Amino acid sequence: MATFVLIHGGGDSGWAWHLLEAELRARGHETVAPDLPSDQPSAGLGDYADAVVEAVGETVGEAVGERQNPVVVVGHSYGAFTAPLVAERLRAGVLVLLAGMIPAPGERPDDWWESTGCNEARETAGLAAIEDPFESFYHDVPRGLAEESMRRERGESSRAGSEPWPLPAWPDVPTKFIICKDDHFFPPEFFRDLARARLGITPDEIGGGHCVALSRPKELADLLAGYVKG
C-alpha cells in the first residue's frame, strides 16, 4: 500500500482526481488531493508546496519519519512545478509527472513556454490554433464531467508564475514521466524530448488526452500502482 499525493494542474482543483482516487483506494492505497491556494494572488510556489504537505499531514496523521507506506507524489501539467518541492520535503519514494511542465532551477513558470520551445512545438503540431477547451483539454472526457470540471475552474496566482523555481537541482527521488499519447494541448513528441533532456529518462505513455485522470482513471491507476510494485 502507498500514499498517493495528487497535485492538480493550473486553474484546476483537487476534484480533478476524484475518479483516480476511487480507483487507487479500491486497490488499497491512500490518496491526498488538496486544492492548491492558486486562487490567492499572494500565493507563491512555496505556499503551494506548504498546502500540500499540510494536507498530507492532516490526512495521514503521521510524521514523515514514522510513515510506513511509501509516498508517491504525482504532479499534473503545471503541478509539475510544485510536485518536486513536495517530493523532496516528504522524502517520497517516487515522483511522477503526468504531462508535466518539467521545471529547471531558477526558471519561472511564465518563461517555461519559450525556454523549453513548447510554444513553437504547439504551433508546429497545429495545437496552438485549438481554442475550444472541449477539444484541447477534454476531447475524450465525457461531456458531463468536462462541463463540471470547467465549472470548478479557479484562478492562478500571478506570483507563482513569476517566481523562479527554487530548487538548485532535481530532488534525489526516483522520477517517472507519463505522456498522454492523445494530448491535444502538449505535443507528445515535445515531452519525449524534454523528459530525456531535463530528466535523462524515457517516458511511459498512456492513451488519452490531457485530462486522462477523468477520461481513463482505471488505466492511469494501473500505471501508477505499478510504480509502487516496481
- Output the CATH code of domain 3-229: 3.40.50.1820
Residue 62's pLDDT is 54
Average model confidence (pLDDT) for the chain? 95
Q: What are the pLDDT digits (tens) for 171-218?
A: 999 999 999 999 999 999 999 999 999 999 999 999 999 999 999 999
Q: What are the pLDDT digits (tens) for 57-76?
A: 866 655 454 556 899 999 99
| Domain ranges within the chain, ordered by starting residue | 3-229
Residue 229's pLDDT is 81
Residue 69's pLDDT is 80
Of 4-8, 56-60, 68-72, 137-141, least confident by mean pLDDT is 56-60
Backbone angles phi, psi at 178, to 5 degrees: -115, 125
- Laid out side by side, the sheet with 3-7 consists of 30-32, 3-7, 71-76, 94-98, 175-180, 204-206
CA distance 188 to 169: 25
Q: Which residues contact 4 (CB under 8 A, 6 or more apart)?
A: 21, 24, 29, 30, 31, 32, 72, 74, 224
